[in-house]
A = this chain, B = another copy of it.
Amino acid sequence: MSVGAESIIAVSGSELDSLADIFKAIGDPGRLKIVHSLLARELCVHELAQTVEMTPSAVSHQLRLLRGLKLVKRRRDGQRIFYSLDDAHISTLLSQALLHVREG
C-alpha cells in the first residue's frame, strides 16, 4: 500500500505527536536492534537479550514500551513469551531510512 506525498501535508497536531512517539521509539539504538531482530522472525525475551546484547530486564523494559505503541505483539509458549512485529509498515520505514543512509 502506498501513500501520495500530498497526504502527509494534512496532519493534525496529535497525529504528529503520535508519529513522533513512533520515531522516538525506533530512534533508540537498543530498541531499533530489537525491532530489526524481529524482522526475520519472532524471538523470546531471552533470545532477544542475547541477540542485541542487553540484559533480559533492559529488553523487557523496552519491549513494554514498544508494545504500548503497538509496534510489537507477544504470545506465550510455556515459560517463554515470543515477541513479533505488530506493524506491517515498519519494514518499509526501515527500508526508506536505509535508503537515506546509503544514498546520502
Contact = CB atoms under 8 A, between A and B. Distances in A.
Interface stretch (A42-50, A59-67, A76-84, A88-96): A88-96
Interface in A1-17: 1-5, 7-9, 11, 15-17
Interface residues of A, number: 47
B20 A26 contact: yes
Given A1-B99, A9-B40, A39-B8, A94 B24 contact: no
A91 B99 CA distance: 13
Contacts of A102: 15
Contacts of A98: 3, 7-8, 11, 15, 19
Interface of A: 1-5, 7-9, 11, 15-29, 32-33, 36, 39-40, 70-71, 87, 89-102, 104
